Amino acid sequence: MSPEDLENLSLEELQKRAKKQALEALGKYQPPYKYSRKRKRKVNMDTLDSIFQEIREERQAQDAKWGGPDHDDQHVPNDWIAFIGRHAGMASYGVTDSTFRKQMKRVAALAVAAIDAYDRQLDAATKPITWRKK
């Protein structure tokens, strides 16, 4: 870049460029993060397995509390959406403590229950499903 071009840059831009050059000279420069679908995040499978195990345990606790499939099959899709929305909303109040994590486990377990109930309805249906409360 020529000296004339440098004169046209703002002080802020000059400071950014100087900082970048200094970090590059020290070998500490990292380009700004840009979203790319090509980048894949490495997932710690042990952590993922433990999260799935916690969701399984929450699902079992829900079945014990509410009666399992017999109870679940009484709900229509909008019920499940409401249950999940309620717990997701409750999670928003617990961002600074363990409430967030607990409610997200409940949301995941409820989603599993909803899918399970829906699949049972499909398996049992010999005609198109009509969703009615029993």
* Residue 98 covered by a domain: yes
Cα of first residue to Cα of last residue in the chain, in angstroms, is 75
Residue 76 structure tokens = 């229509």
Tell me, yes or no, whether 117 lies in a domain. Answer: yes
Q: Which domain holds residue 107?
A: 45-124
Alpha helices in the chain (DSSP H): 3-7, 11-26, 45-66, 69-72, 77-92, 98-124
28 inside domain: no
Residue 10 is predicted with a pLDDT of 80
Full-model pTM: 0.61
Q: Could you give the number of structural domains in the chain?
A: 1
Any domain includes 88: yes
**pLDDT digit of tens for each residue in the chain (134 aa)?**
666 676 777 888 888 888 888 888 887 777 665 555 555 666 677 788 899 999 999 999 999 999 999 999 999 999 999 999 999 998 888 666 778 889 999 999 999 999 999 999 888 775 555 666 65
**Per-residue pLDDT at 12:** 82
Q: What is the pLDDT of residue 73?
A: 92
Please tell me the distance from the alpha carbon of residue 51 to that of residue 45, in angstroms, as a whole number: 10
| Dist CA 88 CA 105 (whole Å) | 10
Residue 102 lies in a domain: yes
Residue in this structure with the two tokens 């979203």, named with its chain if needed: 35
* Residue 65 falls inside a structural domain: yes
In a domain, 64, yes or no: yes
- Domain presence at residue 32: no
